[in-house]
A = this chain, B = another copy of it.
Amino acid sequence: MVSSTNVTVVGAGSMGAAIAARLVQGGASVQVLARDAGKAAALPGVVPGAIGDPITGGIVVLALPYAAVGEVVARYADQLDGAVLVDLTNPVDFATFDSLVVPAGSSAAAEIAALAPGAAVLKAFNTTFAATLASGTVGAEPTTVLVAGDDADAKAAFTTAVEAGGLRVVDAGSLKRAHELEALGFLQMTLAAAGATSWSAGFALAR
């Protein structure tokens, strides 16, 4: 059984900060590792550190841009065996904003799973803008964290930790669905950039 009460968030940007705040709210012990440890230390209720410090959480949320993930996973390779590794990236080609940088049909999550074969990789948080993690709503609906992955225990531990923080979690299926989640995340970004939705809204999953 993976503990849902010890979580490491790597990255202290808007996503990392919003996720850490929810996990702290849920009563988890939350380590935040940032390139600039001072950014982690500024977050309330967390155990701050620098990228490179030992990971203490059994659930590790990579709150980093896709381009930064490979280096971090390589650095922590020996510490990720047996961990739940959560990928939230949208691997958008920012030069064109017209495609993803991962191979057609694949996903960032699948690429990361190949880099960390001993970890149980989950895709989550890539369809929720940071502001909606903080507000808890997307329009009139509750913010819904869609999670995909192949390991049921990993998914259960993740779900427990995130629901404890007051967010709704919905199982989106196997890790193969990361492709669709990344398509949704990318589409949502293009719609926000075009003004068809806002960076504090996006797609809500209605019942």
Contacts and interface: CB of A to CB of B under 8 A. Distances in A.
A107 to B, nearest CB: 10
A176 interface: yes
A30 to B, nearest CB: 27
A187 B191 contact: no
B201 A207 contact: yes
B181 A187 contact: yes
A170 B141 contact: no
A191 B172 contact: yes
Chain copies in the assembled complex: 2
A22 interface: no
Which secondary structure dominates chain A's binding surface? Answer: mixed
Contact of A206 (B138, B176, B186, B207): B138
A139 interface: yes
A46 interface: no
A194 to B, nearest CB: 7
B184 A196 contact: no
Contact of A180 (B187, B194, B197): B187
Interface of A: 98-99, 104-105, 138-141, 170-174, 176-177, 179-181, 183-184, 186-187, 190-191, 194, 196-198, 201-207
